[in-house]
Chains A and B, each alone.
Chain A
Amino acid sequence: MNTIEHFVDVLVIGGGTAGPMAAVKAKQANPALRVLLLEKANVKRSGAISMGMDGLNNAVIPGHATPEQYVREITAANDGIVNQKTVMAYAQNSFAMIEELDRWGVKFEKDETGDFAVKKVHHMGSYVLPMPEGHDIKKVLYRQLKKTRVEITNRLVATRLITGEDGRIAGTFAFDCRTGEFHVVRAKSVVLATGAAGRLGLPASGYLFGTYENPTNAGDGYSMAFHAGAELSGIECFQINPLIKDYNGPACAYVTGPFGGYTTNSKGERFIECDYWSGQMMLEFQRELAGGNGPVFLKLDHLAPETISTIETILHTNERPSRGRFHAGRGTDYRERMVEMHISEIGLCSGHSASGVWVDEHAATTVAGLFAAGDLACVPHNYMLGAFVYGKFAGESAARHALEHEHAKVDVGQIETERNRVLAPLLREAGLPPAQVEYKLRRMVNDYLQPPKVTRKMEIGLERFEGIRHDLEQLSARNPHELMRAMEVYAIRDCAEMAARASLFRTESRWGLYHARVDFPERNDAEWLVHVQTHKNERGDMACFKRALEPAVITMNEADKAAYHQLRIPASQPAAERIPA
């Protein structure tokens, strides 16, 4: 098999949301640079917003919200563990990005005066901007990629980052999932934008690809950053979402809330004050499911028929259009029946919670020349608009770095080692099929890591993940497509180990359900008001350490800090029937 070499200035890995923005912004910053966008699928339809997006969850628009208010909200929602400088940098650039996307042709909802039609979903401020016609967003991005002449390669799967002899980033290794050819892409700076670790937990259906996140986002970037020596942060703050039971889309109180929809228990009673996704909200959701008042439902059946038609148009044509088909199959009509909801499998995703590669307010990681953006970069609750804003930061930072540096010198032994690791499953005639190893690994993730977290279970989980590490050496692939699945299992296993180690390290409970530890049920600010970083230490082992919070940009008073602590609506029934807190 051939090895194909590429030399570029800026390499962007991942062509979903943050990646295309980073590539466009790098090219705009310096049109003379060679910018390559490397994508595992096809840039036209890849990533979390493959079919579009039905709204912005964190728009900071003058007249509706201020950056200071947003930083306060996210600091409270993430229980104080945020680098406020990064959240502030997002908030201050949020509106300019909306205006730019608007100019590019992305359609946002506006009122009759032409002002953006912002809605309130969060606990404190108003940041939700609907996009009822948001299905064209990938086309808009693609036009910009063509206009700025970014080079694109599709169907290349990045496997490991290349580091230079001086520790700087030097590019990536990849292979073609159609031909199996091995690629070495050398670059002066690299932007990692590979999305969430969405194939970590196993959905209750048992269908490996029925995940909340686009399952192509298997956590490749988390693993690559780890092996390149970067710090990851907040891995123990899992992503767990309230979804439609059996279907992997959100029931979507963000969309339906402004129309009058809300989350209820089986008695049709509201039990949470605020439908914004936070660990605290998910804990109340889980208590309701486990208590006598479950299951939990999205209630729409009280709304006017024309309102429901509008909701159907948004929810069934946009972000997850197969949703209407799912409801039709079950005979669920919003006019007559509430929609049964459930808790998703666990994942890692800073777009929704806070797990990611550590970045500063310029999207720089702790590895020189490596930048990160989107769901994989640790800027809590950053969502799609945060991916665009940090994509812009990453692209501009990468362009600057590429101008100031030459290609790093690379030890050729590194290339041969990785080529052998990647191609080995193709050469094994008999061995373990990737799908079987993946199923077992992800079932173990459910068994041992799904919150509430139990110390002894997570320790056993680590033993199982160590066992599966040895199974990886037995993986066999019948074709390059299966090889892609085999390499993804490597990444999923690394993410599982990081999730277990970071969760064990933080000996307290925080973020509601995301890090509810049975053996340490209380929050302990005296010791744990810090970031937990996960990295590869000098011995090459996975290790965790505390990183102090950066000085606060926004001072939080006690009322602000506690805003997300009381999300349960006080029950009206006798105290004896209440679910214990």
Chain B
Amino acid sequence: MSLPVFALAQQRTTVPVRIDEDKCIADKGCTVCVDVCPLDVLAIDLTKGKAYMAFDECWYCMPCEKDCPTGAVQVDIPYLLR
């Protein structure tokens, strides 16, 4: 039996900010959630034209969710605290 091959350790994490891609209008040029985040943890995936959480460094303060014009952003309490 051969041993499985893995990449160098890559920690997986569940991220607290979820984006409903059907509602996200980043492809129309919207960057509101990225702009308002105090920790600068959100980004736009340019290939998909959708926002996503690039860094798991969330204060769950919620400007991204409150200021999103289409209601595409949902902030969960991070799993470690839930």
Contact = CB atoms under 8 A, between A and B. Distances in A.
B30 interface: no
B10 to A, nearest CB: 12
A210 B38 contact: no
A205 B59 contact: no
A216 B75 contact: no
A47 B61 CA distance: 11
A205 B57 CA distance: 14
B27 interface: no
Residues of A contacting B: mostly = loop
Given A50-B63, A325-B76, A41 B82 contact: no
B9 to A, nearest CB: 11
Contacts of A247: 77, 81
Interface residues of B, number: 24
A248 B16 CA distance: 15
B73 interface: no
Interface string A207-227: 111110011100000000000
B18 to A, nearest CB: 13
Interface in B40-82: 40, 54-55, 57-63, 66-67, 75-78, 80-82
B36 A329 contact: no
Given A51-B62, A320-B61, A41 B80 contact: no
Interface residues of A, number: 35
B58 A42 contact: no
A177 B80 CA distance: 27
B57 to A, nearest CB: 5
Contacts of A214: 38, 59, 61
Nearest to B55: A481
A153 interface: no
A246 B81 contact: yes
A321 to B, nearest CB: 5
A322 B40 contact: no
Interface in A482-496: 484-485
A304 B55 CA distance: 43
Interface in A230-248: 246-248
Given A51-B62, A207-B80, A247-B81, A216 B39 contact: yes
B35 interface: yes
20 contacts: A41-B40, A42-B35, A42-B36, A42-B38, A44-B35, A45-B67, A46-B38, A51-B66, A206-B80, A207-B78, A209-B58, A210-B78, A210-B81, A211-B59, A216-B39, A247-B81, A321-B66, A326-B81, A330-B82, A485-B57
Interface of A: 41-42, 44-47, 50-51, 154-155, 177-178, 205-211, 214-216, 246-248, 320-322, 325-326, 329-330, 481, 484-485
Given A41-B38, A214-B59, A325-B75, 13 more contacts: A42-B36, A45-B63, A45-B67, A51-B61, A177-B40, A209-B39, A209-B59, A210-B59, A216-B38, A246-B81, A247-B77, A321-B66, A322-B61
